[in-house]
A and B are shown apart, each in its own frame.
Chain A
């Protein structure tokens, strides 16, 4: 079973601060997704990255896929209270299985 380690597990910051969350594995992934989940709702897909070294931006969110496709990061610039939620990464193996592995998530709280 592949493991996706997310760090930090919890993050509590003030509005306007910058932050980075990480998703790491010893396995190589063919693609990796990031999701945000708000309380009482299902996860919502933010982005899919597929190429080593790829950088994608979604407004104030910047996603990077590691060169070796074993890790990824999510950077939020000038966090807002609306960014509060659980951030999940999920990776698909480059091998035979197409079942994605989910990390346990980073719980972010942005205080006004």
Chain B
């Protein structure tokens, strides 16, 4: 089925560890984003990309890196995990930057201990 695939579904990290959250879409969408969702805070944008080779920071980028080498893939790297990064992470894509709704992945629940 076409859509946004996120892996892993669950992850536990120790403080200071690094990891990469994977995101892939097969809909040929140009625009991709990473959000984190925390209770009472809603969805907050971490990084986004308007096409292969182009990325930019969102509202809460500190501690995260992204790259977009292909249209399909948009991995999110945690450089040195901190307890404050415990959250649910969603990758989302849409056809173009304006006027289209997102297709979201099913999320990665990350716990940093």
Contacts and interface: CB of A to CB of B under 8 A. Distances in A.
Given A42-B104, A43-B90, A45-B101, 20 more contacts: A1-B59, A35-B102, A35-B104, A42-B4, A42-B92, A42-B106, A43-B102, A43-B104, A44-B104, A48-B99, A48-B101, A50-B99, A88-B42, A92-B99, A98-B97, A98-B98, A99-B45, A103-B42, A104-B40, A104-B41
Contacts of A64: none
A33 B40 CA distance: 20
A30 B42 contact: no
Contacts of A98: 97-98
Interface residues of B, number: 22
A105 B39 CA distance: 11
B113 interface: no
B42 A102 contact: yes
The 4 closest A-B pairs by CB, nearest first: A42-B104, A45-B101, A104-B42, A98-B97
B103 to A, nearest CB: 7
Contacts of B45: 99
